[in-house]
Structure 1
Amino acid sequence: MNEEKALQEFSLEPGSRDRERIRTLLQQEIDNSNAVDNDYLRILCVMLFAIGQVEDTQLIWQAKRKNQDTRSYVDVQLLCGAGFEETIIYLEQLGEQQAEEQLQYLKQCELYDFVDFSKEEWIAQYKQYYGVIEG
């Protein structure tokens, strides 16, 4: 599947009923060492960001950390679909090593990447990038 097919199947702002399927596709993409379609990986992250469940932040973190290319390809803001503060609280409560690493990363990025953070504005930017027409 590529990003165009994913957009056709789920839309850029899918309903929560599609969440598990999107999570599965993203996990498969993370696990596939031969996958080179970073647009597909990113759009799955954008979809989970749009759904906004705080629990998805760690899966998106795995996608961001997959390789050197995806580190810059998956925007840090995608880690915070539930909101920056909500994500920080969630990661602090988890207390796992991966959560701690992600927490430190987010805190380092806070002053640069989360000033006036607006999920709606990021979704609007992705709609423009992917040519999604609302109607």
Structure 2
Amino acid sequence: MEIDRTEEILKFYGLEPDQKHIESIRSLLIYEVNNRNSDDNEYMKTLCILLFILGHVEDTLLIWSAKRKNFDAGNYIDVQLLCGAGLEETKRHLKSANTLHAIDQLKYLEKSERSNDFVNFTRENVIKFYKRYYAINQ
């Protein structure tokens, strides 16, 4: 029987991980993004959720890489997960980064904003949503 990796990381880190685990979560996501043989979008999305909850603006480009891994990942990983530090803070960070990936992501965020993907967006609302998604008691 195959072990459900998503279940395992949620059991190990919890949905609201301690900051001390940020480097290991980043490493797991980097590995997953670079692993061409893996298409476990639920697992990758869960790693993105953990980074979103930790709320470091510098993780936005890593989450963007996960979202851009392939077409399915792009649909699977919600645009709001790019903004763990907040929408405005993320946009400021991307403007100051001034790389092709940052500019590409900034355009995507601005288009998503115009499409009303950030109506009623708050970190708290996103966290509540994922607690329900994973059936975690609030």
TM-score interval, smaller chain: over 0.9
* Residue 133 of structure 1, CA deviation: 2.1
Q: Could you say which residue in structure 1 is the equivalent of 2:43?
A: 40
User: Map of 1:1-135 to 2, 5 A cutoff?
Assistant: 2-111=5-114, 112-134=116-138
Report the Cα distance in structure 2 between the residues aligned to 1:104 and 1:36, rounded to whole angstroms.
Answer: 26
Q: SS at the partner of 1:25? A: helix
Q: SS at the partner of 1:116? A: coil
Which letter maps to 1:123? I
Report the Cα distance in structure 1 between the residues aligned to 2:123 and 2:129, rounded to whole angstroms.
Answer: 10
Report runs of 4+ in structure 1 exceeding 6 Å deviation: none
Instruction: State the TM-score, normalizing by the size of structure 2.
Output: 0.94
Report the Cα distance in structure 2 between the residues aligned to 1:32 and 1:39, rounded to whole angstroms.
Answer: 15
Aligned length: 134
Report the Cα distance in structure 2 between the residues aligned to 1:116 and 1:122, rounded to whole angstroms.
Answer: 10
Higher relative contact order, structure no. (Cα contacts within 8 Å, ≥ 6 residues apart): 1
Which letter maps to 1:35? S
Q: Which structure 2 segments of 5+ residues have no match? A: none
Q: Which moved more, 1:55-64 or 1:1-10?
A: 1-10
Query: Percent sequence identity over matched residues?
Result: 48
Q: SS at the partner of 2:62? A: helix
Q: SS at the partner of 1:113? A: coil
Instruction: State the TM-score, normalizing by the size of structure 1.
Output: 0.96
Report the Cα distance in structure 2 between the residues aligned to 1:115 and 1:132, rounded to whole angstroms.
Answer: 24
Report the Cα distance in structure 2 between the residues aligned to 1:97 and 1:51, rounded to whole angstroms.
Answer: 25
Report the Cα distance in structure 1 between the residues aligned to 2:61 and 2:124, rounded to whole angstroms.
Answer: 21
How well do the aligned residues superpose, as a CA RMSD in angstroms?
0.9
Q: Which structure 1 segments of 5+ residues have no match? A: none
